[in-house]
Chain A
């Protein structure tokens, strides 16, 4: 079982360029999330989606956008990358959002913006 996959594994991006980080899950989970993880800080929620067709803003949404056209895919787009977006990005999913539901994480994308 694949679970959650993310692509690319890592990327170096020039400042000002755009990029889409891909996330796909095969568990038919309703809820999906994008986090960034920076040294010394906890995981911070960027955007989330409780179900296909809906999205919401997390703690640090500026500079990022998402879409949820179907249950399986939840891409994250950086329209114009800046060096402060250098981070490790994790996609996660869970089976619902109102009860005990652990989040399952993808392997992460390590992004460096120069």
Chain B
């Protein structure tokens, strides 16, 4: 079967750095996405990785290792507005997205 694993919840301090991990087992791989979802709102796109390595976009970076079936999202200089759920999704061989359950990130002052 297909499976995406993420921690259920993480807590971090404002101004700090946090790394959210995602491991996957899917039928085929055509890219990995990270989305942010604030409570009661729709998911919004953060990053995309299809090749191994690090993609940096401002305070957010995403890393991929296809051989290990592993990705992480790195958030730097955390702000209170970063409190949200972070969703990892893999596009499989049918080009459909398989979603993890999301990681709820709580930022404390």
Contacts and interface: CB of A to CB of B under 8 A. Distances in A.
Tier of interface size on chain B: 20 to 34
Contacts, number: 42
Most chain A CB inside 10 Å of its own CB: which residue of B42, B48, B96 = B42
B42 A45 contact: no
B106 interface: no
Interface in A48-97: 48, 58, 90, 97
Nearest to A105: B42
A78 B42 CA distance: 22
Contacts of A90: 42-43
A102 B42 contact: no
Interface of A: 35, 40-45, 48, 58, 90, 97-98, 100, 102-108
A48 B98 CA distance: 13
Contact of B100 (A42, A102, A104, A106): A42
Given A90-B42, A90-B43, 7 more contacts: A35-B99, A42-B98, A44-B99, A97-B95, A98-B95, A102-B33, A105-B44
Contacts of B42: 90, 105-108
